[in-house]
Amino acid sequence: MIKVSVMYPNSDGSTFDMDYYLTKHIPMVGQKLGAALKSATVERGLSGMTPGSAPVYRVVCHLGFDSVGAFESSFGPHAAEILADIPKYTNTLPTVQVSEVKL
């Protein structure tokens, strides 16, 4: 299994509209990626390692796929539209990592 992690940094002045993200963006991503998308989770950062410290990431989204090829072939045709939606819910650019799930 492949996990695509989309991590939105928690920096000074950053904003994030969680309602829009959950009710508009993620459903649109799911519709565009179709059956290739096997799972999706959204996490809101609460703190860093030290209790009460700010989280490194404001929001982290994990998308599951059977393979890198499945991700690339489903995301590629819709990349421009999905990426163009980012300014509607945040003023930051996410960090993206593609990982192979080992456990």
Segment 54-80, tens digit of pLDDT: 999 999 999 999 999 999 999 999 999
pLDDT values of the chain reduced to their tens digit, one per residue, 103 residues: 999 999 999 999 999 999 999 999 999 999 999 999 999 999 999 999 999 999 999 999 999 999 999 999 999 999 999 999 999 999 999 999 999 999 9
Residue type at 57 in one-letter notation: Y
Mean pLDDT, the chain, whole residue set: 97
Residue type at 58 in one-letter notation: R
| Domains of the chain by residue range | 2-100
**pTM, 2 dp:** 0.95
Cβ atoms 20, 90 nearer than 8 A: no
Report d(CA 96, CA 85) in Å as an integer: 16
Spell out the CATH class of 2-100: alpha beta
Report d(CA 95, CA 61) in Å as an integer: 11
